[in-house]
């Protein structure tokens, strides 16, 4: 473990959508030597995601929406199939994911199970993502979903075998989604 980090420079490069900073820092290594690093860090806040699953139907609710960063990086359509997710803003992770679930998918979930929390891209992004799961049933459908304001989200209900096949075929390439689908498989909630 390194004993010491000394920040030499912390410059804001952009505050447009979120905050992009340029850091120069000295890292004291285990042997006492010093390494100077220059890195850009993108602070977009922390978030939450949820797998909505139904044991009886052996199905999941997913979303499909345009993601500019994937389009820039070669995703021809720019659309991703994902689990419902959102930024915490000033909410607790649990409150955030309940609100996002009804906004994006139309399902009102009460009890949510916290699975784990992960840094999704720690080499340059500060976000800590909280992972949840909850069972959904048709009676929990409050509206059509689709998001709010500037969102245009398709709600997709698929069987778990279909979702798992989509992962294998490269149709689901979102890490948080794959992690939650794998968790459901490991826990035996759903079956391929």
Mean pLDDT of the chain: 95
Query: What pLDDT is stored for residue 148 in this prediction?
Result: 87
CA distances from 11 to 18, 22, 28, 163, 177 (A): 14, 5, 21, 43, 34
* Mean local confidence (pLDDT), 124-149: 95
Domain range list for the chain? 4-43, 47-187
The more confident residue out of 9 and 32 is 9
- Going by their DSSP bridges, the two strands 128-135 and 47-54 should be labelled as parallel
Per cent of the chain over pLDDT 70 is 98
For 139-174, the pLDDT digits (tens) are 999 999 999 888 899 999 999 999 999 999 999 999
How far are the Cα atoms of 5, 96, 167, 171, 182 from residue 80, in angstroms, in the given order?
Answer: 38, 21, 12, 8, 18
Query: Which pLDDT band, with edges at 50, 70 and 90, does 133 fall under?
Result: very high
Q: Mean pLDDT, to the nearest integer, of 62-74?
A: 96
> What does pTM read for this prediction?
0.93
Q: Is the pLDDT of residue 118 over 80?
A: yes
> Is the Cβ–Cβ distance between 51 and 133 less than 8 Å?
yes
Question: CB of 51 within 8 A of CB of 179?
Answer: no
Fold classified for 47-187: Nucleoside Triphosphate Pyrophosphohydrolase (3.90.79)
């Amino acid at each position: 473990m390194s004993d010491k980090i000394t920040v030499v420079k912390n410059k804001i490069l952009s505050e447009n959508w979120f905050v992009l900073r340029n850091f120069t820092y000295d890292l004291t290594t285990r042997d006492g030597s010093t390494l100077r690093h220059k890195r850009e860090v993108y602070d977009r806040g922390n978030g939450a995601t949820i797998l909505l699953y139904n044991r009886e139907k052996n199905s999941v609710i997913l979303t499909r929406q345009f993601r500019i960063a994937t389009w820039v990086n070669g995703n021809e359509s720019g659309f991703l199939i994902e689990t419902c997710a959102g930024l915490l803003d000033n909410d607790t992770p649990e409150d955030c994911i309940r609100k996002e679930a009804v906004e994006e998918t139309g399902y009102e979930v009460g009890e949510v199970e916290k699975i784990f929390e992960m840094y999704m891209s720690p080499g340059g992004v500060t976000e800590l993502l909280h992972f949840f799961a909850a069972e959904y049933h048709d009676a929990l459908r409050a509206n059509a979903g689709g998001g709010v304001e500037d969102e245009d989200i398709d709600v997709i209900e698929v069987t778990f075998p279909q979702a798992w096949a989509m992962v294998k075929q490269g149709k689901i390439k979102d890490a948080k989604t794959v992690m939650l689908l794998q968790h459901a498989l490991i826990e035996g909630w759903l079956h391929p």
